[in-house]
Structure 1
Protein backbone atom coordinates (compact mmCIF):
# COMPACT_ATOMS: atom_id res chain seq x y z
CA UNK A 1 0.00 0.00 0.00
CA UNK A 2 1.41 3.37 -1.05
CA UNK A 3 1.89 6.00 1.61
CA UNK A 4 1.08 9.65 0.92
CA UNK A 5 3.87 11.93 2.18
CA UNK A 6 2.81 14.36 4.92
CA UNK A 7 3.85 17.97 4.69
CA UNK A 8 4.23 20.32 7.63
CA UNK A 9 4.34 24.08 7.40
CA UNK A 10 6.82 26.10 9.40
CA UNK A 11 4.87 29.32 10.22
CA UNK A 12 8.12 31.27 10.51
CA UNK A 13 8.72 30.60 6.82
CA UNK A 14 5.82 32.87 5.93
CA UNK A 15 7.30 35.83 7.79
CA UNK A 16 10.96 35.48 6.86
CA UNK A 17 10.72 34.58 3.18
CA UNK A 18 10.93 37.21 0.44
CA UNK A 19 10.55 35.56 -2.98
CA UNK A 20 12.31 37.49 -5.74
CA UNK A 21 12.12 37.25 -9.50
CA UNK A 22 10.58 38.72 -12.66
CA UNK A 23 11.67 42.19 -11.48
CA UNK A 24 9.69 41.90 -8.25
CA UNK A 25 10.18 41.18 -4.58
CA UNK A 26 7.43 39.77 -2.37
CA UNK A 27 7.85 40.88 1.25
CA UNK A 28 5.72 40.95 4.38
CA UNK A 29 3.36 43.81 5.20
CA UNK A 30 4.11 45.61 8.48
CA UNK A 31 1.09 46.67 10.53
CA UNK A 32 3.34 48.97 12.54
CA UNK A 33 4.50 50.88 9.46
CA UNK A 34 2.63 54.09 8.65
CA UNK A 35 3.56 53.72 4.98
CA UNK A 36 2.28 50.14 4.80
CA UNK A 37 -0.96 50.99 6.59
CA UNK A 38 -1.64 53.96 4.31
CA UNK A 39 -0.89 51.89 1.20
CA UNK A 40 -3.13 49.06 2.43
CA UNK A 41 -5.92 51.57 3.02
CA UNK A 42 -5.43 53.21 -0.39
CA UNK A 43 -5.52 49.83 -2.12
CA UNK A 44 -8.76 48.83 -0.41
CA UNK A 45 -10.45 52.18 -1.05
CA UNK A 46 -9.64 52.06 -4.74
CA UNK A 47 -12.95 51.96 -6.69
CA UNK A 48 -11.79 49.09 -8.87
CA UNK A 49 -10.85 47.02 -5.80
CA UNK A 50 -14.18 47.75 -4.14
CA UNK A 51 -16.11 46.84 -7.27
CA UNK A 52 -14.71 43.32 -7.34
CA UNK A 53 -13.87 42.55 -3.70
CA UNK A 54 -15.87 42.62 -0.48
CA UNK A 55 -13.80 41.85 2.64
CA UNK A 56 -15.41 39.88 5.47
CA UNK A 57 -15.10 42.99 7.62
CA UNK A 58 -15.84 46.30 5.94
CA UNK A 59 -13.61 49.21 7.00
CA UNK A 60 -12.72 52.57 5.49
CA UNK A 61 -10.16 54.20 7.80
CA UNK A 62 -6.55 53.87 8.90
CA UNK A 63 -7.49 52.12 12.15
CA UNK A 64 -9.32 49.48 10.14
CA UNK A 65 -6.35 49.09 7.82
CA UNK A 66 -4.00 48.50 10.75
CA UNK A 67 -6.34 45.93 12.30
CA UNK A 68 -6.68 44.20 8.94
CA UNK A 69 -2.89 43.96 8.62
CA UNK A 70 -2.59 42.69 12.19
CA UNK A 71 -5.14 39.99 11.35
CA UNK A 72 -3.09 38.99 8.32
CA UNK A 73 0.03 38.79 10.49
CA UNK A 74 -1.77 36.53 13.00
CA UNK A 75 -2.86 34.17 10.24
CA UNK A 76 0.71 34.04 8.90
CA UNK A 77 2.03 33.31 12.40
CA UNK A 78 -0.44 30.40 12.61
CA UNK A 79 0.64 29.09 9.21
CA UNK A 80 -2.80 29.67 7.68
CA UNK A 81 -1.89 32.28 5.07
CA UNK A 82 0.83 34.42 3.57
CA UNK A 83 0.32 38.10 2.69
CA UNK A 84 2.92 39.60 0.41
CA UNK A 85 3.57 43.25 -0.39
CA UNK A 86 4.50 43.34 -4.07
CA UNK A 87 7.41 45.71 -4.66
CA UNK A 88 9.65 46.64 -7.55
CA UNK A 89 12.93 44.82 -6.96
CA UNK A 90 15.07 47.82 -7.90
CA UNK A 91 13.19 50.80 -6.46
CA UNK A 92 11.36 48.99 -3.61
CA UNK A 93 8.21 50.88 -4.63
CA UNK A 94 5.03 49.16 -3.46
CA UNK A 95 2.95 47.97 -6.41
CA UNK A 96 0.21 45.88 -4.82
CA UNK A 97 -0.64 42.80 -2.80
CA UNK A 98 -0.69 39.03 -3.27
CA UNK A 99 -2.17 36.67 -0.71
CA UNK A 100 -2.04 32.89 -0.33
CA UNK A 101 -4.86 31.83 1.98
CA UNK A 102 -6.74 28.80 3.23
CA UNK A 103 -3.47 26.86 3.24
CA UNK A 104 -4.05 23.16 3.87
CA UNK A 105 -0.89 21.10 4.24
CA UNK A 106 -3.01 17.97 4.59
CA UNK A 107 -4.71 18.46 1.22
CA UNK A 108 -1.74 20.45 -0.15
CA UNK A 109 -4.03 23.19 -1.45
CA UNK A 110 -4.45 26.95 -1.04
CA UNK A 111 -6.32 29.92 -2.53
CA UNK A 112 -4.60 32.92 -4.09
CA UNK A 113 -5.72 36.50 -4.60
CA UNK A 114 -4.14 39.79 -5.63
CA UNK A 115 -4.64 43.48 -6.29
CA UNK A 116 -2.45 46.12 -7.91
CA UNK A 117 -2.37 49.85 -7.20
CA UNK A 118 -3.80 52.03 -10.01
CA UNK A 119 -0.45 53.56 -10.97
CA UNK A 120 1.13 50.10 -11.39
CA UNK A 121 -1.50 48.59 -13.67
CA UNK A 122 -0.88 47.66 -17.28
CA UNK A 123 2.67 46.43 -16.61
CA UNK A 124 2.02 42.74 -15.97
CA UNK A 125 2.62 43.17 -12.22
CA UNK A 126 -0.16 40.83 -11.08
CA UNK A 127 0.86 38.12 -13.56
CA UNK A 128 4.53 38.31 -12.64
CA UNK A 129 3.74 38.30 -8.92
CA UNK A 130 1.38 35.35 -9.28
CA UNK A 131 3.98 33.35 -11.21
CA UNK A 132 6.58 34.12 -8.54
CA UNK A 133 4.29 33.30 -5.61
CA UNK A 134 3.03 30.11 -7.25
CA UNK A 135 6.55 28.80 -7.76
CA UNK A 136 7.33 29.62 -4.12
CA UNK A 137 4.19 27.91 -2.82
CA UNK A 138 4.93 24.70 -4.69
CA UNK A 139 8.62 24.61 -3.75
CA UNK A 140 8.57 25.94 -0.18
CA UNK A 141 5.14 24.93 1.11
CA UNK A 142 4.92 21.60 -0.72
CA UNK A 143 1.52 22.50 -2.17
CA UNK A 144 0.09 20.67 -5.16
CA UNK A 145 -2.98 22.70 -6.14
CA UNK A 146 -3.55 26.45 -6.06
CA UNK A 147 -7.01 27.83 -6.71
CA UNK A 148 -8.02 31.31 -7.84
CA UNK A 149 -11.54 32.69 -7.89
CA UNK A 150 -12.77 35.99 -9.30
CA UNK A 151 -16.18 37.52 -9.77
CA UNK A 152 -17.84 36.76 -13.08
CA UNK A 153 -17.24 39.75 -15.33
CA UNK A 154 -13.84 40.64 -13.88
CA UNK A 155 -12.08 40.21 -17.22
CA UNK A 156 -8.75 41.71 -16.09
CA UNK A 157 -8.40 39.17 -13.29
CA UNK A 158 -9.39 36.40 -15.69
CA UNK A 159 -6.57 37.40 -18.04
CA UNK A 160 -4.07 37.38 -15.16
CA UNK A 161 -5.18 33.88 -14.21
CA UNK A 162 -4.90 32.57 -17.75
CA UNK A 163 -1.48 34.17 -18.36
CA UNK A 164 -0.25 32.61 -15.12
CA UNK A 165 -1.27 29.11 -16.15
CA UNK A 166 -4.41 28.91 -14.02
CA UNK A 167 -6.88 26.86 -16.03
CA UNK A 168 -10.55 27.83 -15.98
CA UNK A 169 -12.48 24.99 -14.34
CA UNK A 170 -16.02 26.32 -14.14
CA UNK A 171 -18.44 28.66 -12.39
CA UNK A 172 -19.25 28.57 -8.68
CA UNK A 173 -22.78 29.79 -8.12
CA UNK A 174 -23.15 32.68 -5.65
CA UNK A 175 -19.78 31.97 -4.06
CA UNK A 176 -18.74 35.59 -3.44
CA UNK A 177 -20.34 38.60 -1.76
CA UNK A 178 -21.82 41.32 -3.94
CA UNK A 179 -20.08 44.68 -3.94
CA UNK A 180 -20.12 46.17 -0.44
CA UNK A 181 -22.73 43.71 0.86
CA UNK A 182 -22.83 40.64 3.06
CA UNK A 183 -26.46 39.79 2.32
CA UNK A 184 -26.22 39.19 -1.43
CA UNK A 185 -24.00 37.01 -3.58
CA UNK A 186 -22.56 36.71 -7.08
CA UNK A 187 -21.07 33.95 -9.21
CA UNK A 188 -17.36 33.20 -9.31
CA UNK A 189 -15.13 31.85 -12.04
CA UNK A 190 -12.80 29.18 -10.63
CA UNK A 191 -9.27 28.73 -11.99
CA UNK A 192 -6.59 26.36 -10.72
CA UNK A 193 -3.01 25.39 -11.38
CA UNK A 194 -1.19 22.24 -10.32
CA UNK A 195 2.43 21.90 -9.32
CA UNK A 196 2.82 19.51 -12.27
CA UNK A 197 1.51 22.05 -14.81
CA UNK A 198 3.99 23.82 -17.03
CA UNK A 199 4.99 27.28 -15.81
CA UNK A 200 4.20 30.01 -18.36
CA UNK A 201 6.76 32.57 -19.50
CA UNK A 202 6.38 35.88 -17.61
CA UNK A 203 5.29 39.00 -19.53
CA UNK A 204 8.17 40.73 -21.31
CA UNK A 205 10.51 37.74 -21.05
CA UNK A 206 12.43 36.62 -24.13
Structure 2
Protein backbone atom coordinates (compact mmCIF):
# COMPACT_ATOMS: atom_id res chain seq x y z
CA UNK A 1 0.00 0.00 0.00
CA UNK A 2 1.51 3.37 -0.96
CA UNK A 3 2.30 5.86 1.77
CA UNK A 4 0.64 9.21 1.16
CA UNK A 5 3.18 11.36 3.04
CA UNK A 6 6.88 11.92 2.62
CA UNK A 7 9.30 11.04 5.43
CA UNK A 8 9.85 13.93 7.81
CA UNK A 9 13.55 13.02 7.98
CA UNK A 10 15.12 10.93 5.24
CA UNK A 11 16.76 7.64 6.10
CA UNK A 12 20.51 8.07 6.39
CA UNK A 13 20.33 11.60 7.79
CA UNK A 14 21.67 10.52 11.18
CA UNK A 15 23.91 7.55 10.38
CA UNK A 16 25.79 9.13 7.49
CA UNK A 17 27.82 11.13 10.02
CA UNK A 18 29.63 10.13 13.20
CA UNK A 19 27.66 10.87 16.36
CA UNK A 20 28.52 14.46 17.32
CA UNK A 21 29.69 15.88 20.61
CA UNK A 22 27.29 18.62 21.72
CA UNK A 23 28.50 21.35 24.10
CA UNK A 24 25.84 22.90 26.30
CA UNK A 25 27.70 26.23 26.33
CA UNK A 26 27.88 26.25 30.12
CA UNK A 27 30.44 23.65 31.13
CA UNK A 28 28.86 20.37 30.07
CA UNK A 29 29.57 18.27 27.00
CA UNK A 30 27.35 15.59 25.51
CA UNK A 31 29.67 13.06 23.88
CA UNK A 32 29.27 9.57 22.48
CA UNK A 33 29.79 6.79 24.99
CA UNK A 34 33.18 5.06 25.03
CA UNK A 35 34.02 1.51 26.08
CA UNK A 36 36.00 2.89 29.02
CA UNK A 37 32.80 4.51 30.39
CA UNK A 38 31.45 1.11 31.48
CA UNK A 39 32.78 1.39 35.04
CA UNK A 40 31.27 4.87 35.54
CA UNK A 41 27.87 3.72 34.22
CA UNK A 42 28.00 0.63 36.42
CA UNK A 43 28.79 2.81 39.44
CA UNK A 44 25.92 5.18 38.58
CA UNK A 45 23.49 2.26 38.46
CA UNK A 46 24.34 1.30 42.04
CA UNK A 47 22.50 4.47 43.11
CA UNK A 48 19.06 3.64 44.58
CA UNK A 49 17.57 6.80 43.03
CA UNK A 50 18.50 5.72 39.50
CA UNK A 51 17.19 2.23 40.21
CA UNK A 52 13.94 3.69 41.55
CA UNK A 53 13.09 5.34 38.21
CA UNK A 54 14.55 2.83 35.75
CA UNK A 55 13.38 -0.62 34.90
CA UNK A 56 16.78 -2.28 34.59
CA UNK A 57 19.86 -2.62 36.73
CA UNK A 58 23.53 -3.06 35.87
CA UNK A 59 24.90 -6.24 37.37
CA UNK A 60 28.42 -5.93 35.97
CA UNK A 61 30.74 -3.75 33.94
CA UNK A 62 30.66 -6.43 31.25
CA UNK A 63 26.89 -6.06 30.99
CA UNK A 64 27.25 -2.28 30.69
CA UNK A 65 29.89 -2.73 27.98
CA UNK A 66 27.16 -4.55 26.02
CA UNK A 67 24.85 -1.57 26.49
CA UNK A 68 27.49 0.75 25.05
CA UNK A 69 27.90 -1.51 22.01
CA UNK A 70 24.10 -1.55 21.56
CA UNK A 71 23.97 2.26 21.82
CA UNK A 72 26.52 2.49 18.99
CA UNK A 73 24.43 0.04 16.95
CA UNK A 74 21.33 2.13 17.60
CA UNK A 75 23.11 5.15 16.11
CA UNK A 76 24.18 3.22 13.00
CA UNK A 77 20.64 1.86 12.58
CA UNK A 78 19.09 5.29 13.32
CA UNK A 79 16.94 3.88 16.12
CA UNK A 80 18.33 6.12 18.85
CA UNK A 81 21.18 8.25 20.11
CA UNK A 82 22.75 8.07 23.56
CA UNK A 83 25.21 10.58 25.00
CA UNK A 84 27.39 10.67 28.08
CA UNK A 85 26.95 14.02 29.81
CA UNK A 86 30.36 14.97 31.14
CA UNK A 87 32.13 17.94 32.66
CA UNK A 88 33.65 19.76 29.70
CA UNK A 89 37.00 20.27 31.46
CA UNK A 90 37.48 17.02 33.41
CA UNK A 91 35.39 14.52 31.38
CA UNK A 92 33.84 13.35 34.68
CA UNK A 93 30.47 11.67 34.13
CA UNK A 94 27.48 13.80 35.20
CA UNK A 95 24.69 11.82 33.55
CA UNK A 96 23.14 10.57 30.36
CA UNK A 97 20.75 12.00 27.80
CA UNK A 98 19.22 10.07 24.93
CA UNK A 99 16.87 10.09 22.02
CA UNK A 100 15.10 6.76 22.25
CA UNK A 101 12.55 5.20 19.94
CA UNK A 102 13.72 7.45 17.12
CA UNK A 103 11.41 7.24 14.10
CA UNK A 104 12.95 9.46 11.44
CA UNK A 105 10.21 8.97 8.88
CA UNK A 106 7.63 10.14 11.40
CA UNK A 107 9.92 12.84 12.78
CA UNK A 108 9.54 11.66 16.39
CA UNK A 109 11.83 10.56 19.21
CA UNK A 110 11.63 10.17 22.98
CA UNK A 111 13.99 12.10 25.27
CA UNK A 112 15.37 10.26 28.31
CA UNK A 113 17.95 11.21 30.92
CA UNK A 114 19.50 10.40 34.27
CA UNK A 115 21.97 12.22 36.50
CA UNK A 116 24.63 10.77 38.79
CA UNK A 117 24.06 11.42 42.49
CA UNK A 118 26.88 13.96 42.95
CA UNK A 119 25.58 16.08 40.04
CA UNK A 120 21.94 16.36 41.10
CA UNK A 121 20.51 19.79 41.76
CA UNK A 122 22.93 21.44 39.31
CA UNK A 123 20.65 21.57 36.28
CA UNK A 124 22.50 18.78 34.46
CA UNK A 125 19.37 17.06 33.13
CA UNK A 126 17.79 20.32 31.96
CA UNK A 127 20.97 21.63 30.35
CA UNK A 128 21.65 18.38 28.51
CA UNK A 129 17.99 18.02 27.46
CA UNK A 130 18.10 21.55 26.04
CA UNK A 131 21.24 20.72 24.03
CA UNK A 132 19.90 17.46 22.62
CA UNK A 133 16.54 19.08 21.82
CA UNK A 134 18.27 21.86 19.88
CA UNK A 135 20.31 19.27 17.93
CA UNK A 136 17.25 17.09 17.20
CA UNK A 137 15.22 19.99 15.84
CA UNK A 138 17.88 22.13 14.17
CA UNK A 139 20.38 19.57 12.89
CA UNK A 140 18.28 16.44 12.32
CA UNK A 141 14.95 18.08 11.52
CA UNK A 142 12.70 16.07 13.85
CA UNK A 143 9.18 17.42 14.27
CA UNK A 144 8.23 16.21 17.77
CA UNK A 145 10.06 15.07 20.90
CA UNK A 146 8.28 13.20 23.67
CA UNK A 147 9.25 12.76 27.30
CA UNK A 148 7.74 10.32 29.81
CA UNK A 149 8.29 10.07 33.55
CA UNK A 150 6.56 8.59 36.56
CA UNK A 151 4.06 10.94 38.17
CA UNK A 152 5.84 10.08 41.43
CA UNK A 153 9.03 11.72 40.11
CA UNK A 154 8.56 15.50 40.51
CA UNK A 155 12.22 16.20 39.67
CA UNK A 156 11.69 14.84 36.15
CA UNK A 157 8.52 16.86 35.82
CA UNK A 158 10.50 20.02 36.67
CA UNK A 159 13.10 19.16 34.01
CA UNK A 160 10.37 18.68 31.40
CA UNK A 161 8.71 22.00 32.27
CA UNK A 162 12.00 23.91 32.44
CA UNK A 163 13.00 22.67 28.97
CA UNK A 164 9.71 23.56 27.29
CA UNK A 165 8.07 20.12 27.16
CA UNK A 166 4.35 20.72 27.63
CA UNK A 167 2.40 18.29 29.77
CA UNK A 168 -0.08 16.59 27.46
CA UNK A 169 -1.58 14.09 29.85
CA UNK A 170 -1.22 11.12 32.14
CA UNK A 171 -0.96 7.53 30.99
CA UNK A 172 -2.53 5.53 33.80
CA UNK A 173 -0.66 2.48 35.11
CA UNK A 174 1.58 2.65 32.05
CA UNK A 175 4.97 1.36 33.20
CA UNK A 176 5.94 -1.22 35.74
CA UNK A 177 8.76 -0.19 38.08
CA UNK A 178 10.32 -2.42 40.75
CA UNK A 179 7.73 -1.14 43.27
CA UNK A 180 4.72 -1.69 40.99
CA UNK A 181 2.79 0.05 38.23
CA UNK A 182 3.28 3.79 37.81
CA UNK A 183 1.14 6.39 36.12
CA UNK A 184 3.30 8.28 33.63
CA UNK A 185 3.24 11.94 32.71
CA UNK A 186 3.38 12.45 28.97
CA UNK A 187 5.17 15.64 27.83
CA UNK A 188 6.04 16.79 24.32
CA UNK A 189 7.75 19.58 22.49
CA UNK A 190 7.36 20.50 18.83
CA UNK A 191 9.99 22.06 16.61
CA UNK A 192 7.59 24.98 16.17
CA UNK A 193 7.34 25.63 19.94
Verify same fold: TM over 0.5.
Answer: yes
Query: Helix, strand or coil: the match of 1:72?
Result: helix
CA-CA distance at 1:7 after TM superposition:
1.8
Kindly indicate whether the alpha-carbon contact (under 8 Å) linking 1:22 and 1:128 is maintained by their aligned counterparts in 2: no
1:7 aligned to which of 2, 6, 9: 9
Query: Helix, strand or coil: the match of 2:152?
Result: coil
| Distance 1:154-1:115 versus aligned 2 partners, 3 A rule | same
Gaps of 5+ in 2: none
> May I ask how many residue pairs the two structures share in their alignment?
187
Deviations 1:23-62 (A, max 9, x none): 22110001x31xx00111122221001111103xx54111
- State the match for 1:101 in structure 2: 100
**Aligned: 1:171 with 2:167:** no
TM-score, normalisation: structure 1:
0.84
Gaps of 5+ in 1: 198-206
- State the match for 1:84 in structure 2: 83
CA-CA distance at 1:63 after TM superposition:
1.5
TM-score, normalisation: structure 2:
0.90
Give the whole-Å Cα distance in 2 for the aligned partners of 1:3 and 1:96. Answer: 37
What RMSD over aligned residues (CA atoms) do the two structures have, in Å? 1.8
- Runs (4+) of structure 1 exceeding 4 A deviation are 2-6
Give the whole-Å Cα distance in 1 for the aligned partners of 2:55 and 2:83. Answer: 19
Deviations 1:63-104 (A, max 9, x none): 111112111111111111000000122332221100101111
